[in-house]
Amino acid sequence: MLFNPTGFTECLREWEDLEKNHQQMQDTHRSYKQKLEEVAKLQDSCSGAIARQRKKLKELTASLEECKENHPTPKLNPEDVDAIAEIEDSIKERADAFSEMEAFLPKKNGLYLTLVLGNVNVTLLNKQSKFAYKDEYEKFKLVLTVILFVFSFTCRFLFSYRALDALFNFLLVWYYCTLTIRESVLISNGSRIKGWWVFHHYVSTFQSGVMLTWPEGALYQMFRNQFLTNCLYQSFVQFLQYYYQSGCLYRLRALGEKHNMDVTVEGFQSWMWRGLTFLLPFLFFGHFWQLYNSITLFRMFQLPECKEWQVVMCCCSYVVLFMGNFFTTLGVVYQKYMNNQDKSKIL
Ligand code: COA
């Protein structure tokens, strides 16, 4: 092979450029590491300051209570009483402000996340990443909903094999387990998901696990079609829920400020109510189907040939699911209605 001096000069120039870039890259990385250390120090100092403030505010609240008890109202002059009430209101507002701050600070995981993931930091440090994570969670649910819909349709109408049913139930166990982990991460990142919705997924994991172990037999076949049709319906409702939840998420994001429902979010409020009134009949129908499942299982449990423990376990899980879902949904709607009323009064 012939030696090409022009090619070699170009290689040398290229190498010098790369060297220079490498130097710059190292400087940038050094400054990045330095900034990370600064961020870690700032995080520690913020967390420490919040903990100190919380402790002092707690002590102050106790002292104010003592002042009020030791000096009943007639002895305190009206200005003092007003001042105490004002301080107490401000202390309550501080608690919310601390929670907002903590949503952007690393914190210790709860017991469940520590058991599943170990003590790794799951706090996302900016709003975009939090939004992206929540968005990804909703999309994950959507994809799995479609898969579960197709799977349950196949088991219900096309193939009737116990092994295929077991695979379907195994997928359900995995899906619900994954949801509990993702939801714990979301809560760590300031999401206001009610405890019941997470607990609901623990119960669903348990129930799918029980279905997985239910042996083939007359009783299994008696309940199978009702169970699979119910799964089909739940996937359909989950699809409607996705449309509503992701709609809320995008609209709230567009408004820029979450958890702050003032007059500027009137449009969002009316969209939300339209979405909810459309969704609620489907949700309540699903809840009463869960109750119906538990009644069916209870009747099966009373049959003399019923030997399987799975019948009573599934029956109990459906009762728990019905009660939790129904009453929590009622509570959510009532809470939203009251918030709406308060806002109308302010306006
Ligand atoms: N699963 C997971 N997260 C939920 C949730 C659910 N079922 N319901 C609400 N959330 C989340 C919201 O996304 C929101 O999260 P964010 O703080 O990160 O934005 C937070 O909890 C607060 O939501 P909230 O304002 O209380 O309710 P909503 O308007 O988002 O939804 C319902 C209200 C009633 C539509 C919703 O709770 C729901 O679909 N419930 C029924 C679920 C059910 O019964 N499933 C079984 C069907 S058979």
Output the pLDDT for position 142.
Answer: 96
Collect all residues with Cβ–Cβ distance below 8 Å to 245 and sequence separation of at least 6. Answer: 138
Instruction: Give me the chain's average pLDDT, please.
Output: 89
Output the pLDDT for position 39.
Answer: 93
Confidence bin at 302 (pLDDT 50/70/90): very high
Residue 103 Cβ contacting ligand 1 at under 6 Å:
no
Asked whether residue 260 carries a pLDDT value surpassing 50, the answer given is no
Residue 286 Cβ contacting ligand 1 at under 6 Å:
yes
Query: What separation in Å is there between the alpha carbon of 207 and the centre of ligand 1?
Result: 21
Output the pLDDT for position 67.
Answer: 81
Of all protein residues, the one whose alpha carbon is nearest to atom 39 of ligand 1 is 241
Q: d(Cα 58, Cα 88) in Å, to the nearest integer?
A: 11
Residue 40 Cβ contacting ligand 1 at under 6 Å:
no
Residue 236 Cβ contacting ligand 1 at under 6 Å:
no
The whole-number average pLDDT for the span 108-113 is: 90
The whole-number average pLDDT for the span 258-284 is: 77
Pocket test for ligand 1, best of 129, 193, 235 (most atoms within 8 A of CB): 193
Residue 240 Cβ contacting ligand 1 at under 6 Å:
no
Output the pLDDT for position 247.
Answer: 86
Asked whether residue 179 carries a pLDDT value surpassing 80, the answer given is yes
Query: What separation in Å is there between the alpha carbon of 236 and the centre of ligand 1?
Result: 16
Query: What separation in Å is there between the alpha carbon of 333 and the centre of ligand 1?
Result: 11
Asked whether residue 227 carries a pLDDT value surpassing 70, the answer given is yes
Query: What separation in Å is there between the alpha carbon of 156 and the centre of ligand 1?
Result: 28
Task: Name the range with the highest mean pLDDT among 20-24, 86-90, 100-104, 122-126.
Answer: 20-24
Residue 191 Cβ contacting ligand 1 at under 6 Å:
yes
Output the pLDDT for position 52.
Answer: 95
Residue 279 Cβ contacting ligand 1 at under 6 Å:
yes
Confidence bin at 83 (pLDDT 50/70/90): confident
Output the pLDDT for position 180.
Answer: 95
Query: What separation in Å is there between the alpha carbon of 144 and the centre of ligand 1?
Result: 18
Output the pLDDT for position 84.
Answer: 85
Q: d(Cα 282, Cα 91) in Å, to the nearest integer?
A: 42
Output the pLDDT for position 81.
Answer: 80
Query: What separation in Å is there between the alpha carbon of 116 and the centre of ligand 1?
Result: 24
Indicate the range of 10-19, 98-107, 197-206 predicted with least confidence.
98-107
The whole-number average pLDDT for the span 179-207 is: 93
- Higher-pLDDT residue of 288 and 263 is 288
Output the pLDDT for position 299.
Answer: 95
Query: What separation in Å is there between the alpha carbon of 173 and the centre of ligand 1?
Result: 21
Residue 180 Cβ contacting ligand 1 at under 6 Å:
no
Asked whether residue 265 carries a pLDDT value surpassing 70, the answer given is no
Query: What separation in Å is there between the alpha carbon of 180 and the centre of ligand 1?
Result: 14
Contact 200/292 with Cβ under 8 angstroms?
no
Output the pLDDT for position 281.
Answer: 96
Output the pLDDT for position 261.
Answer: 43
Output the pLDDT for position 263.
Answer: 42
Asked whether residue 2 carries a pLDDT value surpassing 60, the answer given is no
Give tens-digit pLDDT for 35-75.
999 999 999 999 999 999 999 999 998 888 888 777 655 56
Three-state secondary structure readout of the chain: CCCCHHHHHHHHHHHHHHHHHHHHHHHHHHHHHHHHHHHHHHHHHHHHHHHHHHHHHHHHHHHHHHHHHHCCCCCCCHHHHHHHHHHHHHHHHHHHHHHHHHCCCCCCCCHHHHHHHCCCCCCCCCHHHHHHHHHHHHHHHHHHHHHHHHHHHHHHHHCCCHHHHHHHHHHHHHHHHHHHHHHHHHHHCCCCCCHHHHHHHHHHHHHHHHHHHCCCCHHHHHHHHHHHHHHHHHHHHHHHHHHHHHHHHHHHHHHCCCCCCCHHHHHHHHHHHHHHHHHHHHHHHHHHHHHHHHHHHHHHHCCCCCCCHHHHHHHHHHHHHHHHHHHHHHHHHHHHHHHHHHHHHHC
Residue 209 Cβ contacting ligand 1 at under 6 Å:
no
Query: What separation in Å is there between the alpha carbon of 158 and the centre of ligand 1?
Result: 33
Long-range pairs, 93-97, Cβ under 8 A, ≥24: 94/53, 94/57
Report which ligand 1 atom has the smallest distance to the Cα of 179. 2
Confidence bin at 125 (pLDDT 50/70/90): confident
